[in-house]
Amino acid sequence: MRAAPGFTLIELAVALLVVTLMVAGMALPLAAQVQLRRQDETRRLLEDSRDALMGFVAANGRLPCPATAQSGGLESFAPSGSPANGDCETFYGGFLPAATLGLAPLDSEGFLRDAWLTPRNRVRYAVFGGGSAINGVANPLTRTNGLQAATLPALGNAAHFLFICSSGAQATASGCPAASQLTRRAAFVVFSAGPNAASDPPPASDEARNLDGDIVFVHREASTAPGVEFDDVLLWTPIHLVVNRLLAAGRLP
């Protein structure tokens, strides 16, 4: 009898190589799909956070202070601060006060995380204030009825609120050139540090600009190019939408 035909070792090795290459070819698109899905989930999470902040405005006549790492997801006031004076412990370097807003799910310390879910992926939040006064009213956005006290004409004529820039290359702690300004009238921002949140961004990078605790933030297309990496996801709300929400709630003028 003749032996049944079978595969040689070389044929098996070639077959395994082909399968390996096919699996490797599928892995990259799959990883990219996972990242895109997480970006979409994070954007929806930020939109929900923005809606919750606007609901807080309508109910309380002010925006909440940011949470700090020690506040358990609750808004955090300075030692002498309160809703009456709107003096936050931090205005530009804090986190979304998700516990104050009643959002879920929260991590074990009361913070909301984006779709990448690491401890450094807590949703961040900044609001215009820091002692800045409009029409003699300090911290008008975080002070109860502070916008009402500042008056609508003064709010409309204010020089600036938060800056959102398309590049941090020529930005300073107090603004960016007109050519790269997306707006200078953002009342607040909510943002995610993205998939690379676990590592500190390079100094002076656009991602570092979003974490340096001043009134200037960067929003641009994602990039993985060496030296110009950017994967932050940032949403902002202009002051006129906050004013419109207070008008609708009967808290202005």
- Element of type H or E holding 234: strand 233-238
Q: Which tops the pLDDT comparison, 131 or 79?
A: 79
Burial class (CB in 10 A: 0-12, 13-18, 19+), 78: middle
Task: Please report which confidence band the pLDDT of residue 18 belongs to, taking 50, 70 and 90 as the band edges.
Answer: low
Q: What are phi and psi of 216, to 5 degrees?
A: -110, 130
pLDDT above 60 for 11: yes
- Mean pLDDT estimate for the chain: 91
Whole-number percent of the chain with pLDDT over 70: 90
Q: Which tops the pLDDT comparison, 15 or 100?
A: 100
Give the separation between CA 164 and CA 189, rounded to whole angstroms: 9
pLDDT above 70 for 26: no
Give tens-digit pLDDT for 64-119: 999 999 999 999 999 999 999 999 999 999 999 999 999 999 999 999 999 999 99
pLDDT at 31: 72
Task: Please report which confidence band the pLDDT of residue 35 belongs to, taking 50, 70 and 90 as the band edges.
Answer: confident
Residue 164 CA from chain centroid, whole number: 12
Give tens-digit pLDDT for 187-245: 999 999 999 998 899 988 999 999 999 999 999 999 988 889 999 999 999 999 999 99
For the entire predicted model, the pTM comes to 0.87
Give tens-digit pLDDT for 135-193: 999 999 999 999 999 999 999 999 999 999 999 999 999 999 999 999 999 999 999 99
pLDDT above 70 for 52: yes
Give the separation between CA 36 and CA 22, rounded to whole angstroms: 22
The amino acid that residue 50 corresponds to is: R
Q: What are phi and psi of 16, to 5 degrees?
A: -65, -40
Task: Please report which confidence band the pLDDT of residue 34 belongs to, taking 50, 70 and 90 as the band edges.
Answer: confident
